[in-house]
């Protein structure tokens, strides 16, 4: 990329895709590569829900983080929460 602005735009477009993909791959790896000794029906159900529900739910959240108004609202919300717990 010739300009810093172009690199920033490419990175900001690519990063959400990588975040969702890594979340999906991580949960799938845990589901299929865990040792059989720790397998139980309830754990299998939780893991299945994690890799089928969490990535699609997180997808709009991650993509909305490109919006500056949403970023500022989250900073304000989490800033208030953190200040209350101190």
Cα–Cα nearest to 54, from 13, 20, 31, 29: 20
Average pLDDT estimate for 12-39 = 79
Q: Residue 9: which pLDDT band, with cuts at 50, 70 and 90? A: confident
User: How high is the pLDDT of residue 2?
Assistant: 67
Q: 31-43: per-residue pLDDT in tens?
A: 788 777 877 888 8
Domain boundaries, the chain: 4-84
- Alpha-helical (H) ranges within the chain are 4-33, 41-64, 68-84
Read off the pLDDT band of 85 (50, 70, 90).
low
Q: In angstroms, rounded to a whole number, what is the distance separating the alpha carbons of residues 52 and 64?
A: 20
Cβ partners under 8 Å of residue 70, min gap 6:
64
Mean pLDDT, residues 57-62 taken together: 77
């Amino acid at each position: 990329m010739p300009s810093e602005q172009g690199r920033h735009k490419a990175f900001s477009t690519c990063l959400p895709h990588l975040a969702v993909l890594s979340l999906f791959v991580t949960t799938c790896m845990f589901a299929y590569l865990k040792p059989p000794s720790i397998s139980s029906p309830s754990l299998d159900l939780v893991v299945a829900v994690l890799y089928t529900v969490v990535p699609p739910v997180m997808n709009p959240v991650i993509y909305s983080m490109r919006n500056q108004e949403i970023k500022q609202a989250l900073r304000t919300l989490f800033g208030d929460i953190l200040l209350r717990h101190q």
